[in-house]
Structure 1
């Protein structure tokens, strides 16, 4: 079995041993990164490999899974206006989060904790519950008040214990972290644990392969905690460093206007969220519950990744989200409101004539049609 890489804090450099159950930097309390710099395989050498995200084994810190649900290799289809969409809702649990959840469950299985705990507004929780079921790991998922009943039902169906926090997304995270601090508990955090990012980066490796070894001008990505955007940035850096692409695509980060802390920081030219901002904040109701994150822990990394790519931040209104969901449905694609924010931005003509791809991240069956914003 390949040795696990150590983790480290990107802020102060503190290192955390590979097999430690510590979930954050012991000095600053921030999220961790992975001491892992892989070299991806060439396009030609991918031919004939397994038709899942595990075909990119060279780039994954856990390259030999003991279990899989066939995650990855989702279709790329054209939409209107010359834009294409990658259908990442066509995954085992109907969400792109499966890309990262399978790595967290695989890691947990190797570390053998007595319990796995996670917090989520829905999709990450369903993914982690499913892969813990596959790995026969006991799992508890904390969700905020107002989480889609369909997502709560899905988490429970996998055999995980659901704990509904008395409060918002931040309250669910606090309660999960309290449990994570108990002995022999593995915190399957899609935000703090870097293995999740190394799973989501396969989205971009697939896209690069789908397009014959290149990227479009722009990758449009929904951003709440930024796991898909940061994973994409990792993949782009790997491919560029290996000489497999000669230019990097611009990353366009999209937030719901109702909860857009990163877009506001970007507009102010800031490198991070304001230090004086409260640890919790009142979240305005939004259809896009999955990106309604008032203080993303990796905010500094997200802002830097967008800036270094030559990209920008965009925001979309509730009406634009609702209309985008209906527009996609009219094209045969039933996607949850959070998953359509990229298309909502694109269909407003904000990219001009630049080529772009948007991810459709979660199935509409998880939430239904946008009616009243989540939390209203």
Structure 2
């Protein structure tokens, strides 16, 4: 195929032209793609580029001079036509979705040096902005002005916020137990919100059914190939920020497995380009109350189970990218770790007090897993801001006693 990029099915390996997939709003492989209730997806489409041509176009040293967080500056690695007239019209608005270029941090804990990718400062305060930005740009390129999505909160608020910045409309399906702060954030960005009487997996299925009927452009994680593609940008930002010296071990909070899959794809592309010699080890972190990856990785069998954890962002009974994510772990020689809610809350408190970073429970899971498995040369992925779920913060911050003027003076004088 004489194109900048094409689509390839993860399961059956069949390839498709970009026009065949995009002009017909196809999301999964037409041959083997299937979405079943409470099951991982099959037929996920991945995007492949002409890596040999890219290698001739730019060198590793030249690439490392590109500012972190501005993914459009290397347009040859994205499935967006930046010369499209509709995209060109919003080119000056790209700074509205620019990611912070200084979010690669080096910290000390118990005399150990750890790296952190702090996604809490993204436009809508979560990692999901990486995927939402790319999905929104593709919608603009295709002349679409409304995007739908199912979400536990972060993907929904991200889509709503990015759409608001770029002049698009959004409709978000969320489970009834969504944290209030996330619900309010989605609504505040002007999105239409649908509160589903059920869990995330039900919200996902209903959103898909209605989107297909209404022919809405759908952002559902792993279902839309651009969600995986967008999240690979973190791999490039880590590469740039570390000056090519990527940490050997990366702790990744895991729910649906799309962040995990996207990071793997980005690192694999860096290897294909000859800019790194080996992949970092991807360490998937799950809450004990939502352990589908852990069970599948160790048994190669999937069984649907209801989920329950304070880390709502990584609660998924049927991880949509389970098979792709598991391969990503295997191919990087990684593994899966479990942490319980108590360990997550303890980690959240430590990160806040020691590093001054307020993270939500799913992010804290990464630090909790590191504390149980201390190794060298690590990077922790902090995927969401703590203000997205203040109910978890309230569990370890006591309500202060109201003191009178005299009582205050007695206490401090």
TM-score, normalized by the shorter chain, greater than 0.5: yes
Asked if the contact 1:43/1:209 (under 8 Å) is kept, the reply is no
2:359 is the counterpart of 1:335: yes
Structure 2 CA distance for aligned equivalents of residues 236 and 43 of structure 1: 14
SS in 2 for 1:191: coil
Partner of 2:25: 21
**Range moving further from structure 2, 191-200 or 107-116:** 107-116
Asked if the contact 2:386/2:393 (under 8 Å) is kept, the reply is no
Asked if the contact 1:337/1:369 (under 8 Å) is kept, the reply is no
Gap runs ≥5 in structure 1: none
Structure 1 residue 303, shift from structure 2 partner: 1.0
- Matched residue pairs, number? 362
CA RMSD for the aligned pairs?
2.3
Structure 2 CA distance for aligned equivalents of residues 78 and 368 of structure 1: 26
Partner of 1:323: 346
2:69 is the counterpart of 1:52: yes
Matches within 5 A, 1:184-203: 184-203=215-234
Q: TM-score, normalised by structure 1?
A: 0.89
Structure 1 residue 28, shift from structure 2 partner: 3.1
Matches within 5 A, 1:214-225: 214-225=245-256
**Range moving further from structure 2, 75-84 or 259-268:** 75-84
Asked if the contact 1:9/1:25 (under 8 Å) is kept, the reply is yes
Matches within 5 A, 1:270-285: 270=300, 273-274=301-302, 277-278=303-304, 281-283=305-307, 285=308
SS in 2 for 1:83: strand
Asked if the contact 1:222/1:253 (under 8 Å) is kept, the reply is yes
1:96 to 99, 105, 127: 127
Partner of 2:193: 162
Asked if the contact 1:116/1:139 (under 8 Å) is kept, the reply is yes
Partner of 1:245: 276
Q: Deviations over 1:32-63 (max 9, x none)?
A: 22243544744432466455332343322226
Structure 2 CA distance for aligned equivalents of residues 48 and 237 of structure 1: 20
2:236 is the counterpart of 1:205: yes
SS in 1 for 2:274: coil
Larger CA Rg, structure 1 vs 2: 2
2:62 is the counterpart of 1:62: no
Q: Deviations over 1:241-282 (max 9, x none)?
A: 1111122211111111111111111222x2xx43xx35xx32
Structure 1 residue 12, shift from structure 2 partner: 2.6
1:355 to 369, 377, 383: 377
Q: TM-score, normalised by structure 2?
A: 0.82
Structure 1 residue 369, shift from structure 2 partner: 5.1
Partner of 1:73: 101
Per the alignment, do residues 57 and 294 of structure 1 end up closer, same or farther by CA in structure 2, a change over 3 Å counting?
same
Partner of 1:288: 311
1:179 to 196, 201, 210: 210
SS in 2 for 1:333: coil
Per the alignment, do residues 333 and 361 of structure 1 end up closer, same or farther by CA in structure 2, a change over 3 Å counting?
same
Structure 2 CA distance for aligned equivalents of residues 124 and 156 of structure 1: 13
SS in 2 for 1:181: helix
Structure 2 CA distance for aligned equivalents of residues 305 and 37 of structure 1: 21
Structure 1 residue 371, shift from structure 2 partner: 6.2
Matches within 5 A, 1:72-151: 72-79=100-107, 80=109, 81-113=112-144, 115-151=146-182
Partner of 1:346: 370
**Range moving further from structure 2, 141-150 or 222-231:** 222-231
Give 1 or 2: higher helix fraction: 2
Structure 1 CA distance for aligned equivalents of residues 306 and 393 of structure 2: 21
1:233 to 264, 267, 283: 264
**Range moving further from structure 2, 245-254 or 55-64:** 55-64
SS in 2 for 1:85: strand
Asked if the contact 1:101/1:190 (under 8 Å) is kept, the reply is no
**Range moving further from structure 2, 84-93 or 37-46:** 37-46
Structure 1 residue 199, shift from structure 2 partner: 1.5
Per the alignment, do residues 236 and 35 of structure 1 end up closer, same or farther by CA in structure 2, a change over 3 Å counting?
closer
SS in 1 for 2:390: coil
Structure 1 residue 8, shift from structure 2 partner: 3.9
